[in-house]
Amino acid sequence: MITMDYDVAVIGAGVVGCAIARELSRYRLDVALIDAAEDVAMGASHANSAIVHAGYDCVPGTLMARLNVHGNELYDRWCQELNVPLKRIGTLVIAFGEADEAELKNLLELGEKNGVPGLKIISGDEARAMEPMLSQDVTAALYAPTGAITCPYEMTIACAENARHNGVKWMMNSPVTSIERRGDALHVTAGVYHLRAKYVVNAAGVHADEVARLIGDESFTIKPRKGEYMLLDRTAASLQKVIFQTPSKMGKGVLVSPTVDGNSFAGPTAVDIADKEDTSVTSASIDELSRLALKSTPSLNLRGVITSFAGVRAQPSTGDFIIRPSEIDPRMIFASGICSPGLSSAPAIAEEIASILKEEGLPLNRKPFFDAERQPIRAFRHMTDEEKKAAINESPLYGRVICRCETITEAEIVEAIRRGARSLDGVKRRTRAGMGRCQGGFCGPRVMEILSRELDIPMEALTKFGGGSNLLVGKTREDGKNK
């Protein structure tokens, strides 16, 4: 086994780990981005509310409050540089009567203390003018103009791609099984890799406490809290705003929101669970989501549901984000316990981690040729006719539509594979192939053929999302059995 030297090993390739890797790639550092899964964005980063929160509901003075509000500010620049969709459509917390209205006032106060700009309480009619689908029973709303929607897995992938472009090494399929504290460095064993890292950033999501235990740090635990969602087809609704109901102690409550792709969704539930990998959806939750979503927007067409899914939040036992060096060994820096508003805070967390590393003695010297730009996979469906003609001219595979529901071409799928997609879901997250109404019924076998061809691996070896998620169990006929 070859041992490789790194300045920083970032454990966890969710949005936080990838944002950190990207931030660190500005500097003259050797950085590794490590994940147990076969791809980036395989945990909560691909199954969450996709909202860049304004930051009015965090307790003032917490890391959550500060990093959410600052993260929200950073989003414009990050999304512009990384070419990730961001729509500042604004969010509404809606009230159904006096008790809820009191809660709105409370949230307004918190938000003002946190420095959230532009917050105001508006009447039910004003809210309905902003969002015509809103229930007639809504009596008032807290409007937060800085609330935005983005695409969380595209943000994660974009950070990871940009980090790689600037020299960060990806190590996927590499579960971290041991971290030895030696004098020269932390020795990290991750799958087939063995790294000598001056610093380790623990951004391991729901598994961050287990990674902390590898150096004997027991200062916190991560409690998995499941959030289930229902995704609706584009034709089911056209929402203008993100609509929250008033929060409970379990979280921000059930919301309905458009996505940057024009779909809409309802969720999340908040269920404390024992198993960190439990992303099952229960029928009781689907019923509950339906009921609550219709309370906010009675005209939502729930027959337009195309899928339901769940993500697991990493709830920290401390009640706040854990962003500090370990007291057992300060060479491990925690970016842990990043539950909601983790997506919103990710760019700010990345800056915070960089400054902690500097305080801990890592010299941060800017690279002269850092390239902040990341080009997206050019989406055929968003091109004008002239652009489409030119694209096909340049690459004929743009002329072959593979995913009919989302109009995704073979060129886009090939490019996704070139950028690191290794599975059906990896292609789906990068291109949207299989994300539409037929959920891959038509394009699944075709995407598999392309994966098999481009990666030069047999169809039977292909997976849905890595590991043992094999799609096929074998062939119906042996090749040339009878000559």
Q: Which residues bind another protein (CB under 8 A)?
A: 230-231, 235, 277, 279-283, 285-286, 305-309, 385, 388-389, 392-393, 396-401, 404-405, 407, 437-442, 444-445, 449, 459-460, 463-465, 467-483
Query: Least distance in Å: CB of 38 to another protein?
Result: 11
Closest CB to another protein among residues 192, 461: 461
DSSP state of 248: B
Return the number of the residue (80 or 235) whose C-beta is nearest another protein. 235
CA–CA separation, 483 and 478 (whole Å): 11
Burial 128-149 (b: 16+ CB within 10 A, else e): bebbebbbeebbbbbbbebbbb
Residue type at 163?
A
Which residue among 46, 53, 70, 207 is the active-site one?
A: 53
Report how far residue 448's alpha carbon sits from residue 464's, in angstroms, rounded to the nearest whole number: 10
Q: How far apart are the first and last CA of the chain?
A: 44
Minimum distance, C-beta of residue 315 to another protein, in the bound complex (Å) = 21
Could you tell me which of 41, 35, 23, 24 has the C-alpha nearest to residue 81? Answer: 23
Nearest one of 290, 203, 292, 304 to 250, comparing CA atoms: 292
Pairing type for strands 264-267 and 222-232 reads: antiparallel
CB of 368 or CB of 474, closer to another protein: 474
109 vs 460 by CB, closer to another protein: 460
Is the preceding peptide bond at 145 cis, omega within 30 degrees of 0? no
Please state, in angstroms and as integers, the Cα–Cα distance from residue 479 to each residue in 194, 307, 429, 454, 461, following that order: 40, 37, 33, 21, 16
Strand 51-52 and strand 86-87: pairing? unpaired
Pairing mode of beta strands 242-245, 91-95: parallel
187 is catalytic: no
Nearer to another protein, 84 or 403 (CB): 403
**Taking a C-beta distance cutoff of 8 angstroms, is the pair 40, 156 a contact?**
yes
* Least distance CB 208 / another protein (angstroms): 20
Nearest to 338 by CA among 40, 85, 17, 9: 17
277 CB neighbour count, 10 Å cutoff: 11
- Residue 171 or residue 405: which is nearer to another protein going by CB? 405
Three-class SS state of 190:
strand
Please state, in angstroms and rounded to a whole number, the distance separating the CA atoms of residues 84 and 184. 39
Place of tokens 């490789």: 4
Look up residue 426 and give its amino acid.
G
Q: Which residues are annotated as catalytic?
A: 53
